[in-house]
Amino acid sequence: MQRNTRQRSAILETLSRQDDFRSAQQIHEQMKADGETVGLATVYRNLQVLSRSGRLDVLVAGDGESLYRQCEDTGHHHHLVCRECGRTVEFLAPKLESSMDAIAHEHGFTDVDHTLEVFGLCSDHGTREAEAAEEEGEDQAR
């Protein structure tokens, strides 16, 4: 089954020192910077395996890129993510869960599942000034 390779441990170790969601490539670069020698494909493969086994939390960004981080809460929960820095807060919304189910059932849907992600600017990036200072163009996709 699952083996304990230097690379896999290194990936888990790197993730354990990260708070926010990072992309596979960011994680790979981080590791390279830390002196680890791991192939990018290996990072991808492991992130896939680890998230499949529930050890990682996956978040699909607006552009389809997958972001990973170590699970804090293995149950069903949602994320509040800072668009600027990736800072993430997990939260539960029990009322939401039940009303989603209710709406779905009203329309004859069963076996219901949903995805909810909230994006915003955290307290460190919430001023319009800060934003304007860094970006000249403001009309990018997203």
Partner DNA sequence: ATATGTGCAAATGCTTTGCAACGCC
Partner DNA sequence: GGCGTTGCAAAGCATTTGCACATAT
| Interface positions with DNA (CB under 7 A) | 1-8, 23-25, 37-42, 44-46, 48-49, 64-66, 141
- Spatial separation of the C-alpha atoms in residues 55 and 27, rounded to whole Å: 16
Tell me whether residue 59 is exposed, middle or buried, using C-beta atoms within 10 angstroms of its C-beta: 0 to 12, 13 to 18, 19 or more. Answer: middle
One of 52, 55, 72, 73 touching a second copy (CB under 8 A)? 52
Is 40 or 104 the residue whose CB approaches a second copy more closely? 104
Tokens of 54: 């529930």
Name the one range near a second copy by CB under 8 A: 11-19, 31-39, 69-77, 86-94.
Answer: 86-94
Number of other CB atoms surrounding residue 14 within 10 Å: 19
Query: Which residues line the annotated binding site for Zn(2+)?
Result: 82, 85, 122
